[in-house]
């Protein structure tokens, strides 16, 4: 792809950027204006990556450069009755974004007991002290054109602030709905969990249409000393969609981050998850599932950065690949010289359902400390023939046995989602998909 | 029990089978009638487990000669699932762990598949739950095993109980239990054996594949067969098992060789 096409693509995307609100020039919000300006500058300096870039070796994003996506300015006409079925009964607090724009009529923000779940734009002044130290500080954009592009658009988003020692009992649902062809949206999410607090967050990307569009999301999660967060991410974008997302997590001492990310949709998707264990005794558990078929491509790049001692990380990433689909997993783990007594394990397990399905999996360990425990492994295979025979010997047909085993392979990750209604829906989706592919 | 007028369930004649091109079964003859309990014994590598898997239709084994007739029809053309639905059951020596599939879901699927085949009503999850819990009680199984993944993290004894639970649910006409006694302590062995005895009727038959005699203290066989080098080389009553326990297997082979020598 030529430099000209890539810059044209970025220009088109950037060209649809709405004017920043006047307030961003004010002394109190000047930092935000500068952040956006820096990001615009970076977009200008960077190009859309190609397969010659090490980080994009297996993922050819060039189809994106042939599209003319632009951000949408028309307000959504969606009614609650159009989207109610997407709500989760366990999560009464909900922020809904339609084609990237906050939809107050569909949302149920919360502001009680100091817990803030609201649109970022409306909270900038009131919660500046929580926002400024974190927004744009964790998700590095100097070398990442998509994070830069998202930041250039930064104006609104989802804000979750959990005060000290507060436990948010019910999960918070962030629902991103795509409704328009050729729309580009840049969802932004900031989660600030103060010391000893606890929260569960569900990011849920869905589409009500089948045409092409672009989702380019950035999420930042900052956990203070001893805070705990569970982060569920479900990408069920439309079959023609491009989904690119960057999530940066910063863990203070003894904090704990659990994440389950499920990728089902999009034509091409890429999820970068960067977790920094910035202080002693932080823990993270990162699980992922990509279940794809036909010509889909799903790429997950994770980075767990053990910067300080006594950190723990656990990672299980699974791909179920059918049709002529292509899954990519790159799991990087850095153990820095300071991070003695790190305990890390990573497993990448992949199931190929057809001869044309393809997976590239690459565990990448960079260990600079000597007193550490790090285990990693990767498997790529087909269904176990002994398991198939066991089920057949109990009367299940060959197809039923294979479907059940394929389902089970994916269900191991789905089961880790602590929200029953979402889990059941996804189990149903996985069941339908695995049955359809026999 | 041996009944003169009972019908023949299984008739194996001159069965030969290979795995990866190596011949394991060299010519097996065996007749099993309903109501009977057979013990198939023999040293490691004599072909016992291979025979069990061939009967169940394991795709890794190729039948190269002979016949297997089950209730009068050839079994060889039937897929493993068709054999199961026709009432043949293999209790696995090493039951397979299936992470991600709840045991309750697996048991119900298997049960309903076989019920449908017999023209009987399938059970919904709630009905099945009541039904399976009753069966588990008889085997002294904790109902928690319903919620766990199939055999995953089960101890050896729990896996074997789970096999007999499946047998209890599927009510096979011919059950082949492959080393169901291995990995069981004495108490578990007794419970499992009692479970099997309870399932034995005039209308079904059981083939116990075992290396040792100890299970046969609880489940008394009508016939004991000794396998050696891919053949059944001796058949006797339950007293033969005691003799094998006392004297080992070598003498059976020696006796056969001597007889062959005398005939030559």
Residue of A nearest to B102 (CA): A408
CA of A75 to nearest chain B CA: how many angstroms apart? 43
Q: Least CB-CB distance to A395: which of B60, B100, B110?
A: B110
pLDDT at A15 over 90: no
| pLDDT reported for residue B26 | 96
CB of B3 less than 8 A from some CB of A: no
ipTM comes to 0.96
Residue of A nearest to B91 (CA): A393
pLDDT tens digit sequence for B165-223: 999 999 999 999 999 998 888 888 998 999 999 999 999 999 999 988 889 999 999 99
Average pLDDT value for residue range A30-40: 93
> Are A408 and B98 in contact (CB < 8 Å)?
yes
| pLDDT reported for residue B143 | 93
> Are B109 and A389 in contact (CB < 8 Å)?
no
Ordered by start, the domain boundaries in chain B are 8-96+172-263
CA of A323 to nearest chain B CA: how many angstroms apart? 23
What's the burial of B76, exposed, middle or buried (CB within 10 Å: 0-12/13-18/19+)? middle
Residue A3 — very low, low, confident or very high, per pLDDT cuts 50/70/90?
Answer: low
Residue A133 — very low, low, confident or very high, per pLDDT cuts 50/70/90?
Answer: very high
Average pLDDT value for residue range A110-124: 92
Q: Least CB-CB distance to A394: which of B99, B110, B149?
A: B110
> Are A395 and B58 in contact (CB < 8 Å)?
no
**Which chain A residues are within 8 Å of B170, Cβ to Cβ?**
394-395
Q: Least CB-CB distance to A412: which of B84, B95, B100?
A: B100
| pLDDT reported for residue A2 | 56
Separation between Cα atoms, residue A236 and residue B213, nearest integer Å: 58
> Are B56 and A412 in contact (CB < 8 Å)?
no
Interface test with A, best of B101, B107, B164 (most A CBs within 10 A): B101
| pLDDT reported for residue B222 | 96
> Are A396 and B110 in contact (CB < 8 Å)?
yes
CB of B190 less than 8 A from some CB of A: no
Residue of B nearest to A414 (CA): B100
Interface test with B, best of A395, A417, A434 (most B CBs within 10 A): A395
Lowest-confidence pick of A88-92, B153-157, B203-207: B153-157
| pLDDT reported for residue A271 | 98
Average pLDDT value for residue range B80-106: 94
| pLDDT reported for residue B182 | 87
pLDDT at A438 over 50: no
H/E segment holding residue B210: none
Residue of B nearest to A398 (CA): B81
pTM confidence score: 0.82
pLDDT tens digit sequence for A387-437: 999 999 999 999 999 999 998 899 889 999 999 999 999 988 888 887 764
Report the percent of chain A where pLDDT is more than 90.
84
Compare A351 and A429 and report the one with higher pLDDT. A351
CB of B78 less than 8 A from some CB of A: no
Residue A330 — very low, low, confident or very high, per pLDDT cuts 50/70/90?
Answer: very high
| pLDDT reported for residue A437 | 47
Lowest-confidence pick of A155-164, A183-192, B131-140: B131-140
CATH of B8-96+172-263, one of 3.30.365.10, 3.40.50.300, 3.40.190.10, 3.40.640.10: 3.40.50.300
Average pLDDT value for residue range A285-299: 97
| pLDDT reported for residue A275 | 98
Separation between Cα atoms, residue A409 and residue A67, nearest integer Å: 35
Q: Least CB-CB distance to A396: which of B81, B83, B95?
A: B81
> Are A385 and B80 in contact (CB < 8 Å)?
no
Q: Least CB-CB distance to B56: which of A393, A404, A412?
A: A393
Q: Least CB-CB distance to B80: which of A387, A389, A408?
A: A389
pLDDT at A1 over 50: no
Interface test with B, best of A382, A390, A399, A412 (most B CBs within 10 A): A390
> Are B98 and A398 in contact (CB < 8 Å)?
no
CB of A407 less than 8 A from some CB of B: yes
- DSSP state, A82? H
Average pLDDT value for residue range A219-228: 98
Average pLDDT value for residue range A75-104: 93
Q: Are A237 and A389 in contact (CB under 8 A)?
A: no
Residue B264 — very low, low, confident or very high, per pLDDT cuts 50/70/90?
Answer: low
> Are A408 and B101 in contact (CB < 8 Å)?
yes
Average pLDDT, chain A: 93
Q: Least CB-CB distance to A386: which of B96, B113, B170?
A: B96
Separation between Cα atoms, residue A273 and residue A328, nearest integer Å: 14
Residue of B nearest to A411 (CA): B100
Ordered by start, the domain boundaries in chain A are 3-279, 384-438
Interface test with B, best of A392, A393, A398, A426 (most B CBs within 10 A): A393
Compare A74 and A222 and report the one with higher pLDDT. A222
Separation between Cα atoms, residue A275 and residue A284, nearest integer Å: 8
The length of chain B is 264
Average pLDDT value for residue range A213-217: 97
């Amino acid at each position: 792809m030529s430099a000209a096409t890539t810059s044209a693509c970025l220009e088109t995307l950037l060209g649809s950027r709405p004017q920043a609100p006047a307030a961003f020039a004010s002394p109190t919000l000047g930092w935000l204006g500068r952040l956006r300006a820096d990001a615009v500058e970076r977009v200008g300096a960077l190009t859309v990556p190609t397969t010659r870039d090490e980080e994009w070796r297996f993922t050819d994003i060039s189809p994106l450069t042939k599209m003319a996506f632009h951000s949408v300015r028309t307000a959504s006409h969606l009614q609650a009755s159009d989207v109610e079925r997407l709500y989760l009964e366990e999560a009464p607090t909900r922020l809904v974004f339609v084609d990237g724009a906050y939809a107050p009529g569909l949302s149920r923000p919360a502001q009680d007991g100091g817990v803030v779940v609201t649109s970022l734009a409306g909270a900038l002044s009131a919660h500046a002290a929580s926002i400024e130290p974190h927004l744009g500080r964790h998700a590095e954009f100097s070398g990442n054109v998509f994070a830069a592009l998202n930041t250039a658009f930064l104006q609104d988003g989802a804000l979750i602030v959990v005060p000290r020692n507060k436990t948010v009992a019910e999960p918070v649902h962030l629902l991103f709905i795509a409704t328009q062809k050729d729309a580009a949206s840049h969802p932004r999410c900031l989660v600030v969990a103060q010391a000893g607090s606890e929260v569960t967050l569900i990011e849920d990307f869905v589409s009500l249409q089948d045409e092409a569009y672009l989702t380019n999301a950035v999420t930042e999660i900052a956990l203070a000393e001893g805070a705990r967060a569970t982060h569920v991410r479900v990408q069920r974008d439309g079959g023609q969609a491009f989904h690119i997302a960057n999530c940066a997590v910063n863990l203070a001492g003894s904090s704990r981050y659990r994440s389950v990310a499920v990728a089902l949709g999009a034509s091409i998707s890429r999820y970068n998850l960067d977790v920094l264990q910035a202080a002693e005794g932080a823990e993270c558990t990162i699980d992922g599932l990509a279940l794809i078929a036909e010509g889909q491509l799903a790429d997950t790049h994770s980075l767990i950065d053990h910067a300080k001692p006594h950190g723990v990380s656990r990672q299980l990433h699974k791909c179920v690949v059918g049709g002529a689909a292509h899954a990519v997993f790159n799991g990087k783990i850095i153990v820095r010289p300071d991070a003695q007594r790190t305990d890390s394990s990573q497993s990448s397990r992949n199931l190929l359902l057809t001869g044309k399905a393809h997976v590239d999996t690459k565990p990448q360990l960079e260990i600079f400390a000597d007193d550490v425990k790090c285990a990693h492994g990767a498997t790529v295979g087909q269904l176990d023939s002994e398991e198939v025979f066991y089920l057949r010997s109990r009367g299940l047909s060959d197809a039923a046995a294979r479907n059940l085993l394929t389902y089970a392979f994916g269900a191991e990750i789905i089961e880790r989602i602590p929200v029953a209604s979402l889990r059941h829906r996804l189990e149903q989706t996985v069941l339908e998909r695995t049955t359809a592919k026999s | 029990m041996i009944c003169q007028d009972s019908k023949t369930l299984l008739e194996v004649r001159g069965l030969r089978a290979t795995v990866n091109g190596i011949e394991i079964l060299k010519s097996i003859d065996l007749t099993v009638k309903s109501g009977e309990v057979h013990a198939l014994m023999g040293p490691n590598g004599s072909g016992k487990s291979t025979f069990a898997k061939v009967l169940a239709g394991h795709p890794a084994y190729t039948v190269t000669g002979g016949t297997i007739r089950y209730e009068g029809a050839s079994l060889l053309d039937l897929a493993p699932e068709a054999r199961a639905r026709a009432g043949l059951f293999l209790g696995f020596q090493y039951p397979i762990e299936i992470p991600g599939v709840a045991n309750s879901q697996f048991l119900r699927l298997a049960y309903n598949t076989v019920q449908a085949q017999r023209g009987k009503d399938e059970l919904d999850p709630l009905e099945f739950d009541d039904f399976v819990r009753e069966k588990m009680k008889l085997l002294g199984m904790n109902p928690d095993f319903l919620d766990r993944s199939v055999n995953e993290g089960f101890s050896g004894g729990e896996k074997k109980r789970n096999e007999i639970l499946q047998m209890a649910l599927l009510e096979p006409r011919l059950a082949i239990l492959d080393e169901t006694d291995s990995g069981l302590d004495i108490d578990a062995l007794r419970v499992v054996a009692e479970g099997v005895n309870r399932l034995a009727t005039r209308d079904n038959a059981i083939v116990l594949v075992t290396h040792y005699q100890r299970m046969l203290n609880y489940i008394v066989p009508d016939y004991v067969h000794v396998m050696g080098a891919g053949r059944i080389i001796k058949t006797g009553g339950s007293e033969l098992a005691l003799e094998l326990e006392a004297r080992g297997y070598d003498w059976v082979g020696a006796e056969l060789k001597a007889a062959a020598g005398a005939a030559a």
